[in-house]
Amino acid sequence: MEISKNFDFKSAEAKWYAHWLENKYFESTPDEREPYTVVIPPPNVTGILHMGHCLNNTIQDILVRRARMMGKNACWVPGTDHASIATEAKVVQMLRERGIQKASLSREEFLSYAWEWKEKYGGIILQQLKKLGCSLDWNRTSFTMDADYYKSVIHVFNDLYGKGYIYRGKRMINWDPKAKTALSDEEVIFKEVQGKLYFLQYQIVDNQGQVVPLSEGGITIATVRPETILGDAAIAVNPSDDRYKHLIGSYAIVPLIDRKIPIIGDEYVATDFGSGALKITPAHDMNDNQIGIKHGLQVVDILNEDGTLSSDAQLLIGKDRFEARKEIIQLLQEAGHVVKIEDYIHQVGFSERTDVVVEPRLSLQWWVDMKKISGPALTAVQDGEINFHPAKFKNLYRHWMENIKDWCISRQLWWGHQIPAWYDGEGRFVVAMNEEEAKEKFSKEFNVIDPQLKQDEDCLDTWFSSWLWPFEVFKGISNPGNKDVAYYYPTQSLVTAPEIIFFWVARMVMAGYEYMGKKPFSDVYFTGIVRDTQGRKMSKQLGNSPDLLEMIDEIGADAVRFGILIASPAGNDLLWDKSSNEQGRNFINKLWNALKLIQIWKERAKPNLTSEEVSLASDWPHQWFDARLRAASSEIDVLMAQYKLSEALKTLYSLIWDDFCSWYLEWVKPGFEKPMDQVHLDSVLNNFELLLERLHPFMPFVTEEMYHLLRTSQPIDLCVRQLDAALQPRELDEKVLNEGELLKASITAIRDARVKSQIKNKDAVTLYCSSLERTSWEAIQQLLSKQVNASDFSFTDEPIANTIQLVVGSSKMYIKSEQVLDTSAQRKTLEEELKYYEGFFASVEKKLSNEKFVQNAKLEVVEMEKKKLNDALQKITLLKESIANLS
């Protein structure tokens, strides 16, 4: 069979993915095997594949494919998340482009547009995962708003409400004025912003109730949000502050609107910040709200839900908050209230989804009382029931869990799971599975017959559905105790980004224990963040995020998978550069060329060779490679168990490039245009197959392609071939591995000597060896002679004159050549080596002559040092002899 010059990844990728699907290799149903379950972190239904997904899903695919090849029933569940805010924003934008305002639509109309949009664009990302080679069970594709899933979310809400874990309450929340919705604390990103600190002077009312003119002094406060003075309810000072304490109990006048507000004392106020007097705006600041409650202050809400000033502001009504800020300063300046304005750098909260400044706002929302369900989730991770990789995230998790706050779960959106609460006209409400049940409950609880009910307009936070993901993809709630959930749950590995440890991971653990009574997964692998070479996070805004599909198209999915993984140390961020793809491509090329070489051997192979034709006298090279493969495989097993995927791939890379290509194939290579005997060829083919097997989870396409080119009638596809569990290191391997090291060292040393003495490769040399380890040399002498073009190899006890002298291990070698020898180069090499060993000898000797060392160190350590000393001494003797022989 003709093998193409290079790997044609485009046709191979299309061919093999279709073939795998056709043969249902990725489909899983419960059977007697042990399950290996992974649920995909569901990407946003609006999402497009980026580098983060690439890393994340490559890792999952490696774990899943490997499990599949190790006899597990591997099941990787795909799906998408409805991503309420993000998706609703996209739909609103699409409508705007069509000239439709969301406000002009009914809820039903809007949702039909949203579903239309979801059907059309949603799930593109899942198609993209196929390009990457991901072995997902597509029959199990789930969506967080599937009918059953939806019902389960509503059920969970009802259940938690029934248990008293969900409540409705008026609290300060983070308000996103663009999305016009509440946000949870986790959805607010604090950024440092260069702002201004405005010092404003308020007039004071004296004992007689007279307003003191500003010219006679007032009270100065500092604020970064001057527009909020319109909502002021008090001015607070620290009761121990001598500057102000006499004012406590009197009143001040809010500028421009002349509202009379009390001056109160509260320890909360810092005397050393700003002016030492704090304006209190209970409707628009978390802390002010607390103080407001404590002192029974009135609440003046001056903002509309879109961030414009409300009629309660009395001034600048309808203006945007930032516009109002500029204008009010002008008005205050004109009225003489501005004392000074300072530059001020401070932290401002932004909405994670819309990136607008979040407003603290008082509103009625639904909450989950987290302390009620967090207990088992905390201990599970503390006790190692669930393992985090890397383990450092354990601390972070614990800290958050121990200081957990209630979770605001209502969102003022339409796209999502509508809150199952029904209200009557009088503000009474019940929580129910549906309207019918709600009516029943009303009649029972309030004795109302057939009330006019209205369902809560709001939706649930997206994470209130995705925290059910690991079991609801198996219908663990909608069809409790079914065969799938019983078999696949708990899942094994969760691979996700550390950013969502609180949003998602922690909450899944809570839901898992609450609803399944079991952990949702055994291991959580947190990937790093993909950054560019300058260490910047990849983002659309910076334009440093490469187009993944384009890249796959250019260089192939396997090269991209290799590139991202090799650059990804376990648990660290990875600085990714396109050049690591090239390393992947080069590696594929190397493999491909090995295949081409073997193909040539296959064509020339003969079943029975005459003794003259035999290319290889023994099967020593096969034994050696077998031993190397065993050692490397067990290293890889260990690394994989520790989730050190990058290290495992490096081990494989070097096994293939160095051990297999550079050494093994060279050792078994027959002479130019000579045939290879079938027995040796079979060994080579077997070994190559075993390599491809191990590489397959990392680079599925090229390995499957080569596997079939290697042997035309494979009984089974590589994708579902089972790894040979017997491939473990054996004690007897040690001998052949040592011989291999001796062979490599001698080849390298002789090649080096040839270069330094300018002996051309085509000129044959004669080798003499003086050694106490004759049996080792005997095992390798034929290969050595072939590799270094030596016409003869013999043992000697005497130095050979006019030769190049080398010390390999504890043996001496003499290279005899026709050529005139340049002894100076040789002498230099030997002397440098001697210098090194003398230095080494001195350092060991020093250590051993230290009495305290010999007294205190462990016996075996001392013994080892003595051995090192002896070895070095032997080496020094040999080197000295060689140098002496030179002259």
Partner RNA sequence: GGAACAUUAGCUCAGUUGGUUUAGAGCAUUACUUUGACAGAGUAGGGGUCACUGGUUCGAGUCCAGUAUGUUCCACCA
Site for RNA in 486-505 (CB under 7 A): 498-499, 502
- Range 366-425, binding RNA (CB under 7 A): 392, 395-396, 399-400, 403, 405
CB of 753 to RNA, least distance (A): 10
CA distances in angstroms from 191 to 188, 194, 347, 534, 541, listed in the order given: 10, 10, 5, 21, 16
State whether residue 119 is helix, strand or coil: helix
Within 10 A of 800 (CB to CB), how many other CB atoms are there? Answer: 19
Q: Alpha-carbon distance 340 to 329, whole Å? A: 11
CB of 475 to RNA, least distance (A): 32
Residue 293 in contact with RNA, rule: CB under 7 A = no
Q: Tell me which of 274, 282, 292, 420 binds RNA, using CB under 7 A.
A: 274
Q: Tell me which of 597, 679, 727, 886 binds RNA, using CB under 7 A.
A: 597
Please, which residue, 23 or 533, has the CB nearer to RNA? 533
Q: Alpha-carbon distance 497 to 524, whole Å? A: 10
Residue 322 in contact with RNA, rule: CB under 7 A = no
CB of 85 to RNA, least distance (A): 18
Residue 831 in contact with RNA, rule: CB under 7 A = no
506, with CB counted inside 10 A (0-12, 13-18, 19+), is buried
Q: Alpha-carbon distance 521 to 339, whole Å? A: 59
- Range 187-246, binding RNA (CB under 7 A): 190, 222-225
Please, which residue, 8 or 116, has the CB nearer to RNA? 8
Q: Alpha-carbon distance 489 to 521, whole Å? A: 8
Q: Tell me which of 305, 868, 873, 874 binds RNA, using CB under 7 A.
A: 868
CB of 752 to RNA, least distance (A): 5
The contact pattern for RNA, residues 253-272, with x = CB under 7 A and - = no contact, is: ---------------xxxxx
Q: Tell me which of 590, 711, 735, 786 binds RNA, using CB under 7 A.
A: 590
Tell how strand 338-351 and strand 251-254 pair up.
unpaired
Candidate segments 202-210, 592-600, 611-619, 819-827, binder of RNA by CB under 7 A? 592-600
Residue with tokens 């060292």: 745
Please, which residue, 141 or 599, has the CB nearer to RNA? 599
Q: Tell me which of 71, 336, 375, 569 binds RNA, using CB under 7 A.
A: 569
The residue among 445, 417, 422 whose CA lies nearest residue 434 is: 422
Residue 572 in contact with RNA, rule: CB under 7 A = yes
R_g of the chain computed on alpha carbons: 38
The residue among 651, 640, 653 whose CA lies nearest residue 583 is: 653
Q: Alpha-carbon distance 124 to 47, whole Å? A: 8
Residue 553 in contact with RNA, rule: CB under 7 A = no
Q: Tell me which of 279, 475, 519, 561 binds RNA, using CB under 7 A.
A: 279
Measured in degrees and rounded to the nearest 5, phi and psi for residue 631 equal: -65, -45
- Range 605-664, binding RNA (CB under 7 A): 647, 650, 654, 657-658, 661-662
Q: Tell me which of 456, 613, 717, 838 binds RNA, using CB under 7 A.
A: 838
Within 10 A of 605 (CB to CB), how many other CB atoms are there? Answer: 19
Please, which residue, 433 or 861, has the CB nearer to RNA? 861
CB of 493 to RNA, least distance (A): 19
Structure tokens at 410: 């209502």
Q: What angle do CA 554, 560, 565 make, to 5 degrees?
A: 165
State whether residue 297 is helix, strand or coil: coil
CA distances in angstroms from 40 to 32, 134, 529, 634, listed in the order given: 24, 11, 18, 28
CB of 234 to RNA, least distance (A): 13
- Range 3-32, binding RNA (CB under 7 A): 6
CB of 137 to RNA, least distance (A): 33
CA–chain centroid gap for 622, Å, is 39
In the chain the first and final C-alpha atoms are separated, in Å, by 58
Please, which residue, 149 or 664, has the CB nearer to RNA? 664
Please tell me whether the peptide bond between 390 and the residue prior to it is cis, using omega within 30 degrees of 0.
yes
CB of 569 to RNA, least distance (A): 4
Q: Tell me which of 52, 78, 133, 276 binds RNA, using CB under 7 A.
A: 276
The residue among 405, 458, 378, 512 whose CA lies nearest residue 184 is: 405
Candidate segments 205-213, 412-420, 428-436, 853-861, binder of RNA by CB under 7 A? 853-861
Residues paired with 262 in a beta bridge: 251
The residue among 355, 363, 306 whose CA lies nearest residue 189 is: 355
CB of 598 to RNA, least distance (A): 8
760, with CB counted inside 10 A (0-12, 13-18, 19+), is exposed
Q: Tell me which of 114, 358, 594, 813 binds RNA, using CB under 7 A.
A: 594
Residue 847 in contact with RNA, rule: CB under 7 A = yes
- Range 738-767, binding RNA (CB under 7 A): 748, 751-752, 755, 760-761
CA distances in angstroms from 513 to 161, 379, 518, listed in the order given: 17, 11, 5
- Range 329-348, binding RNA (CB under 7 A): 346-347
Q: Tell me which of 209, 535, 543, 607 binds RNA, using CB under 7 A.
A: 535
Please, which residue, 380 or 788, has the CB nearer to RNA? 788
Residues paired with 455 in a beta bridge: 422
CB of 192 to RNA, least distance (A): 9
Residue 575 in contact with RNA, rule: CB under 7 A = yes
Please, which residue, 431 or 566, has the CB nearer to RNA? 566
- H-run or E-run covering 880: helix 859-886
Q: Tell me which of 844, 876, 878, 879 binds RNA, using CB under 7 A.
A: 844
- Range 687-716, binding RNA (CB under 7 A): none
* One-letter amino acid of 380: A
CB of 843 to RNA, least distance (A): 4
The residue among 416, 567, 613 whose CA lies nearest residue 55 is: 567
Structure tokens at 201: 């002077």
- The answer to whether 236 and 278 have CB atoms below 8 angstroms apart is yes
Structure tokens at 513: 């224990």
Structure tokens at 624: 């050696």
Q: Tell me which of 286, 364, 433, 617 binds RNA, using CB under 7 A.
A: 286
Q: Tell me which of 850, 866, 870, 877 binds RNA, using CB under 7 A.
A: 850
Please, which residue, 275 or 304, has the CB nearer to RNA? 275
Q: Tell me which of 686, 836, 869, 881 binds RNA, using CB under 7 A.
A: 836
Q: Alpha-carbon distance 637 to 415, whole Å? A: 45
Q: Alpha-carbon distance 479 to 793, whole Å? A: 76
Please, which residue, 488 or 576, has the CB nearer to RNA? 576
CB of 660 to RNA, least distance (A): 8
CB of 572 to RNA, least distance (A): 4
Please, which residue, 69 or 665, has the CB nearer to RNA? 665
Please, which residue, 333 or 850, has the CB nearer to RNA? 850
Q: Alpha-carbon distance 472 to 478, whole Å? A: 7
CA distances in angstroms from 560 to 328, 566, 579, 651, 867, listed in the order given: 55, 10, 10, 18, 48
In terms of DSSP H, where are the helices of 413-477? Answer: 435-446, 463-466, 469-472
Please, which residue, 68 or 325, has the CB nearer to RNA? 325
Q: Tell me which of 171, 178, 596, 786 binds RNA, using CB under 7 A.
A: 596
Please, which residue, 535 or 607, has the CB nearer to RNA? 535
Please, which residue, 126 or 377, has the CB nearer to RNA? 377
State whether residue 311 is helix, strand or coil: helix
CB of 816 to RNA, least distance (A): 20
How many residues bind to RNA according to rule CB under 7 A?
96
